[in-house]
Structure formats: C-alpha cells, structure tokens
C-alpha cells in the first residue's frame, strides 16, 4: 500500500499511521507531511523504525526551504517517481 502523509504529523493521527505501516508499504511525505522527515524531529526515530520504505516529494521539500534538513535516511523523489509509486502500489491511503 502507498501511504501519503500530506498534513503535518502534528495535525493527524501520526501514531495510527505508524501502526498501519507494513513491510511491503511505501510512505510518501508530501505537502506539510515532509515535516515528519526533518532531522532532529522528535517524531523521526519512530518513523525510521517503521517497516515501510520512506520517501519525500522533492518539490514540497524545496518549496518549504527544508532541503538541508531532511533526514538522509529518507529518499527524496520527484513527481515521475511518485507516479511510479502509484503504479507499483495499487492501493493508497491518504493521511
């Protein structure tokens, strides 16, 4: 399943999201969801321990001026890669 975190992790049920992630899942951080991937963020350690593959949408990271602050353990991708994720994961869950 492709999970897309579009809202700030402080404005959604972030812990439910973490519990829902499975080993074959992908989690894409986009819009304000990229805040979950910031280095030194208190929520980041739990995210990095999740079984899902972690991605962040480059355009949203750049738009917020956070390029240098995104964790190196999260892969930053463009819209073409986002399309590939949607093809790969036919089921999606927005957060």
| Residues in contact with 4: Cβ distance below 8 Å, sequence separation at least 6, in sequence order | 27, 28, 30, 33, 92, 93, 94, 95
- Beta-strand runs (E) in the chain: 2-5, 26-29, 53-57, 75-77, 92-94
Q: What is the CATH number of the domain that holds 80?
A: 3.40.1260.10
Site of tokens 């093809």? 87
Range of the domain at 16: 2-94
Percent with pLDDT over 90 in the chain: 100
Measure Cα distances from 37 to 31, 60, 71, 87 in Å.
Answer: 12, 12, 6, 24
> What is residue 83's predicted lDDT score, i.e. its pLDDT?
97
Total structural domains within the chain? 1
Render pLDDT for 2-53 as a digit per residue (tens, 0 to 9): 999 999 999 999 999 999 999 999 999 999 999 999 999 999 999 999 999 9
Per-residue pLDDT tens over the stretch 81-95? 999 999 999 999 999
């Amino acid at each position: 399943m492709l999970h897309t975190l579009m809202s700030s992790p402080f404005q959604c049920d972030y812990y439910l999201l973490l519990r829902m992630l499975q080993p074959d899942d992908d989690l894409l951080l986009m819009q304000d969801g990229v805040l979950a991937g910031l280095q030194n963020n208190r929520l980041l350690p739990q995210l990095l321990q999740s079984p899902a593959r972690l991605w962040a949408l480059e355009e949203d990271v750049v738009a917020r001026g956070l390029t240098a602050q995104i964790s190196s353990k999260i892969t930053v991708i463009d819209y073409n890669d986002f399309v590939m994720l949607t093809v790969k994961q036919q089921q999606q869950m927005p957060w």
